[in-house]
Amino acid sequence: MHLRRGSSLTAVLVLALTLGLTGCATTVIGSAKPAAGAANSEKTTSGKPSSTRTSTSGKKETTGTGSPTSGTKPAGKAKIGTKKKTEGYEDCDILTPEDVATAIGAKKAGEKGCVQSTEEPFAVVLFMVTFAEYEGEAKEIEVGGNTAYEVKEGGGDCSVLVMLTDDPKEITPAFLASVTPIDSFDPCQVALKLATKAFEKIPNA
């Protein structure tokens, strides 16, 4: 691209090269998109995101919501009173809209899926089988005899992360229930109810 000529065509070439270089240096505005197959997330038949699937290799596919090292990992060995399965079922179907509405005390439930919303009071709920990590201020508790963590996040959100297994080879050994209150209520109390309900419904290992 940086050719120089000393002939009578120099002016023309310099002009052409200048235009060419200007085109090469043009900033492209837009957002990067992953290549086909780069993202591991899948869609359920309802159009909701599915955080986990059982693969033929027995390993779990996960969404791009984070990586195993993106958050704070619990310190110490988890107490496991009852081992639960982390695959072989659709985690977005664990909690029904009725389960969510009952935990919140809402009059109107949303649609099924890993992300649900309610009305009266308004709230958004996220739940999934996920990594054993969290972001925020955590307090260790127990759910169903297993180690769990109540995590208060910025903006008033609250999550409960309950350990399903202590298998070190398991990539996603925990279940997360996260609550974002739009109206005024205790999100940590609701997150605990949702995590407890899900723990009861998840099959034993």
Based on the domain organization, do 101 and 187 belong to the same domain? Answer: yes
Residue 146 CA to residue 65 CA, distance in Å, equals 24
More confident residue, 44 or 105: 105
More confident residue, 39 or 131: 131
More confident residue, 196 or 56: 196
131 within a domain of the structure (yes/no): yes
Based on the domain organization, do 103 and 180 belong to the same domain? Answer: yes
Cβ-count burial 109-132 (b if 16+ within 10 Å, e if not): bbebbbebbbeebebbbbbbbbbb
| Number of domains forming the structure of the chain | 2
35 within a domain of the structure (yes/no): no
pLDDT at 95: 98
Asked if pLDDT for residue 87 goes beyond 60, the answer is yes
154 within a domain of the structure (yes/no): yes
166 within a domain of the structure (yes/no): yes
pLDDT at 193: 99
Q: What is the dihedral of CA 29, 41, 122, 158, to 10 degrees?
A: -100
pLDDT tens per residue across span 7-40: 433 443 444 444 444 444 434 344 444 444 444 4
R_g over Cα of the chain: 25
Domain, as residue range, for 86: 42-201
Asked if pLDDT for residue 189 goes beyond 60, the answer is yes
Residue 68, strand partner residues: none
Based on the domain organization, do 100 and 73 belong to the same domain? Answer: yes
Number of CB atoms found within 10 A of residue 165's CB? 20
pLDDT at 102: 98
pLDDT at 70: 53
Mean pLDDT of the chain: 77
Query: Mean per-residue pLDDT for 59-70?
Result: 40
Asked if pLDDT for residue 41 goes beyond 60, the answer is no
pLDDT at 77: 82
Based on the domain organization, do 47 and 24 belong to the same domain? Answer: no
